[in-house]
């Protein structure tokens, strides 16, 4: 269907859809959702890891999950056990997650790129007693010498050939029954994940996410548009939250989740066409790829965008002939905001929409007092199915949650129609001569230049103005700084930003440091740098320093 045909479909209003979503009783746990889908469409494909050739029907997935749950129970995994899972995007990961959910155990996902130090931190902070790990990650495990005292070799299960005397994951399944009876009932508010946040400053925190969280976020995304999604694409790592909620969204729709091994901007649209994808999270980097005559040959009904440069919005929809809508979410809250599919007048507005089903939102000042409409303040969110707190961090939990309201740390404003706009990060502000400058705004303007792939704005101490703005730029592959000289960049900024927001210092960089969830780790740009001005072009003096 074209965009026009999709939008022409008659569906209940946004408010009616919201009420319908919130009215229905959730299943008892994530396993009950899988059971309902397997009972209804047993032979329909549930998961398709198309690059490895792994595929499971709903009946086959349920049987595999039950066998693994029985095997894990026999190996000592119990209700409340914390099990680290360090796997790439292969079927063993969601199968393990769902099997742990059957048992009432808890998955602690680990980035496969973790160093031994990072792995040790998560094992100890998350109180991990068992570990499911891919054979490719064993060299990292070998760096944990000795192993943390709480993690015994006999409690490590290797996916693949393995070595070192550890147990084989596949042998947990061999000979086990394809039905499963839990020792005790697993409820909506039982913990399913300790999901570690990126940790842009300091050490990451483990978000305690119950079954209700995953059922809620999956249901919201499955039904909020009133459209039917049967083929869904996940291209980001399963250790991050998105493929996990895309899995529950898939189960709600009795759909098929197609899973890529890893993200690829150059191959993304090939996957979309080959598997006739109808819903996915769309990386803006795909828009930066050279146009293709087949770009409009797709069956996408809607894509979710996060932080889309508003000047690109209409052009993106026109180029690919699909509906792109902004959304706002966090590991802690799940789905927080979304832009309705029918809100065509908001294309290019920069708004991330209105509160999702199950969510209330407010914007407050430093004393938690609601601000007037149009004023900027911190966004707070509350509602059922959010994090229960940060694991073993009561002080951080108390600082983030008050009377059910979660402090997002993001600066927002709300317009007269109730739409919310993200302005910047509360702690990602540059204060120049008494003016607050949102780094996000400067970065968004820079990313609007066709030569720029990524940008990061940071404060530089200044004796006169307190702070000045410095930007780090990553150019498109094959381009050099001479292809986008500082003078032209400054001219563009002056045309799009108030004078006090125009960067003073400009630096080009091959690659920006990233957190495990692929967010820019700004602290790594500035740490241990004696003088942030050196190596930059200074706009004021007009030369390189």
Confirm whether 10 is domain-assigned.
no
Using an 8 Å Cβ cutoff, are 208 and 391 in contact? yes
Residues whose CB is less than 8 angstroms from the CB of residue 76 and which lie 6 or more positions away in sequence, other chains included: 130, 155
Confirm whether 177 is domain-assigned.
yes
| CATH value at residue 76 | 3.40.50.980
Residue 201: its pLDDT value, please?
45
Two tokens at 36? Answer: 């309902």
pLDDT at 273 over 50: yes
Query: Quick one: 223 and 363 in the same domain?
Result: yes
| CATH value at residue 331 | 3.40.50.12780
Query: Quick one: 248 and 286 in the same domain?
Result: yes
Confirm whether 105 is domain-assigned.
yes
Over the Cα atoms of the chain, what is R_g? 24
Confirm whether 219 is domain-assigned.
yes
Query: Quick one: 217 and 243 in the same domain?
Result: yes
Express each pLDDT in 333-364 by its tens digit.
999 999 999 999 999 999 999 999 999 999 99
Q: Average pLDDT, stretch 204-217?
A: 96
Q: Which domain holds residue 401?
A: 211-425
Query: Quick one: 415 and 439 in the same domain?
Result: no
More reliable by pLDDT, 170 or 440: 170
Peptide bond into 146 cis (omega under 30): yes
pTM: 0.84
Residue 198: its pLDDT value, please?
60
The last residue of a domain, from among 153, 186, 219: 186
Cα separation, 16 vs 348, in Å, equals: 26
Percent of the chain with pLDDT over 70: 97
Confirm whether 16 is domain-assigned.
no
Confirm whether 122 is domain-assigned.
yes
Query: Quick one: 114 and 243 in the same domain?
Result: no
Residue 284: its pLDDT value, please?
85
- Torsion angle of C-alpha atoms 298, 301, 305, 310, degrees rounded to 10: 90
Query: Quick one: 168 and 240 in the same domain?
Result: no
DSSP assigned state of 148: P
Q: Average pLDDT, stretch 234-260?
A: 96
The last residue of a domain, from among 405, 425, 445: 425
Residue 163: its pLDDT value, please?
64
| CATH value at residue 477 | 3.30.300.30
Residue 496: its pLDDT value, please?
81
Q: Average pLDDT, stretch 431-440?
A: 78
Q: Average pLDDT, stretch 250-267?
A: 96
Confirm whether 330 is domain-assigned.
yes
Cα separation, 97 vs 102, in Å, equals: 9
Confirm whether 133 is domain-assigned.
yes
Query: Quick one: 394 and 441 in the same domain?
Result: no
Query: Quick one: 368 and 463 in the same domain?
Result: no
Query: Quick one: 458 and 386 in the same domain?
Result: no
Query: Quick one: 225 and 179 in the same domain?
Result: no
Using an 8 Å Cβ cutoff, are 306 and 328 in contact? yes
Report how many domains make up the chain: 3
Q: Average pLDDT, stretch 89-93?
A: 97
Cα separation, 166 vs 168, in Å, equals: 7
Using an 8 Å Cβ cutoff, are 251 and 46 in contact? yes
Query: Quick one: 296 and 355 in the same domain?
Result: yes
Task: Name residue 158's beta-bridge partners.
Answer: 133, 168
Max CA-CA distance within the chain? 74
Residue 466: its pLDDT value, please?
84
**Which band of pLDDT confidence, cut at 50, 70 and 90, is reported for residue 199?**
very low
The last residue of a domain, from among 186, 221, 249: 186
Query: Quick one: 143 and 176 in the same domain?
Result: yes
């Amino acid at each position: 269907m074209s965009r026009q045909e999709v939008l022409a479909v008659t569906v209940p209003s946004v408010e009616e859809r919201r009420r319908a979503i919130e009215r229905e009783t959730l299943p008892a746990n994530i396993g009950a959702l899988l059971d309902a889908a397997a009972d209804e469409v047993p032979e329909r494909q549930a998961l398709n890891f198309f690059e490895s050739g792994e595929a499971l029907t709903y009946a086959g997935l349920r049987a595999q999950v039950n066998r693994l749950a029985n095997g894990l129970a026999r190996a000592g995994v119990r209700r409340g056990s914390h099990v680290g899972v360090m796997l790439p995007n292969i079927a063993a990961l969601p199968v393990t997650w769902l099997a742990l959910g059957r048992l009432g155990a808890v998955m602690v996902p680990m980035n496969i790129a973790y160093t031994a130090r990072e792995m040790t931190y998560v094992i100890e902070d998350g109180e991990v007693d068992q570990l499911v790990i891919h054979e490719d990650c064993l060299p990292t495990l070998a760096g944990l010498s000795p192993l943390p005292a709480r993690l015994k070799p006999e409690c490590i299960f290797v996916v693949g050939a393995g070595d070192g005397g550890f147990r084989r994951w596949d042998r947990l399944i061999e000979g086990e029954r394809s039905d499963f009876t839990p020792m005790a009932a697993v409820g909506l508010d039982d913990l399913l994940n300790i999901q570690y946040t990126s940790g842009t400053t300091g050490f990451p925190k483990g978000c305690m996410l119950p079954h209700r969280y995953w059922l809620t976020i999956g249901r919201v995304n499955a039904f909020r548009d009133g459209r039917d999604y049967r083929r869904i694409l996940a291209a980001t790592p399963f250790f991050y939250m998105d493929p996990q909620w895309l899995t529950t969204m898939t189960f709600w729709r009795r759909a098929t989740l197609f899973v890529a091994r890893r993200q690829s901007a150059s191959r993304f649209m090939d996957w979309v066409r080959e598997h006739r994808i109808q819903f996915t999270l769309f990386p803006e980097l795909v828009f930066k790829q050279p146009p293709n005559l087949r770009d409009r040959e797709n069956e996408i009904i809607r894509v979710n965008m996060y932080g889309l440069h508003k000047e690109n919005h209409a052009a993106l929809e026109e180029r690919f002939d699909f509906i792109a809508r902004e959304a706002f979410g966090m590991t802690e809250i799940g789905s927080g905001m979304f832009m309705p599919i029918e809100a065509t007048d908001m294309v290019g507005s920069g708004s991330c929409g209105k509160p999702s089903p199950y969510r209330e939102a407010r914007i407050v000042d430093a004393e938690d007092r609601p601000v007037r409409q149009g004023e900027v303040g911190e966004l707070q969110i509350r509602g059922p199915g959010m994090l229960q707190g940060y694991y073993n961090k009561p002080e951080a939990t108390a600082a983030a949650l008050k009377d059910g309201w979660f402090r997002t740390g993001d600066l927002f404003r709300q317009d007269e129609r109730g739409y919310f706009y993200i302005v910047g990060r509360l702690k990602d502000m540059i204060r120049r001569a008494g003016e607050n400058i949102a780094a996000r705004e400067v970065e968004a303007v820079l990313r609007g230049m066709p030569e720029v792939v990524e940008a990061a704005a940071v404060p530089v101490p200044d004796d006169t103005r307190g702070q000045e703005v410095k930007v780090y730029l990553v150019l498109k592959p094959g381009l050099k700084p001479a292809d986008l000289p500082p003078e032209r960049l400054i001219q563009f900024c002056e045309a799009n930003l108030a004078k006090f927001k125009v960067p003073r210092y400009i630096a080009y960089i091959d690659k920006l440091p990233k957190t495990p969830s692929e967010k820019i780790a700004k602290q790594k740009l500035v740490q241990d740098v004696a003088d942030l001005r050196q190596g930059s072009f200074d706009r004021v003096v007009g030369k390189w320093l």
